[in-house]
Structure 1
Amino acid sequence: MPRQVVFDTIAIDYGRVEVSPEGGVRLVVHYRVASSTAPDYAQWKDRDVSALLTPEEQQTIRAMAGRIHQALVQEELA
């Protein structure tokens, strides 16, 4: 009988936010799944977690991205 592997550790390394010109928001996290029952197992994965965002969170991200974009453009033009 194969041993049961319990995945008990998830470490998020970073998140990437993408905002399309049409205003769509995409949040992708890069994370590692590990197990205390199989210490040699650790796998890095990417996952789109956009569906977990509320409309209000999506709006906040769009606003932040707009301000950051504006600041970067002004900085490059200076």
Structure 2
Amino acid sequence: MSTTTYTVNGMTCGHCAAAVTEEISTLPGVEDVAVDVASGAVSVTSTAPLDDAAVAAAVDEAGYALAGPRDLPLA
């Protein structure tokens, strides 16, 4: 298992967190999604390394923007 934390822009409420959680949860290997609306942090626990592009697409589908993994420098 591995956990990757991303930053998501635009989340402001519980509905936002639920939408992001629902979309990311559909990705292969995802076991758990934890969202902190206040900080914009989304921690994803998976059985295999995640494809950042797939996570970005899932977040986009929920109506928000992925800023990137927190452990990588952002452009």
Could you tell me the TM-score, scaled by structure 1's length?
A: 0.26
Could you tell me the TM-score, scaled by structure 2's length?
A: 0.27
Higher strand share: 1
Q: Larger relative contact order (C-alpha < 8 A, sep ≥ 6)?
A: 2
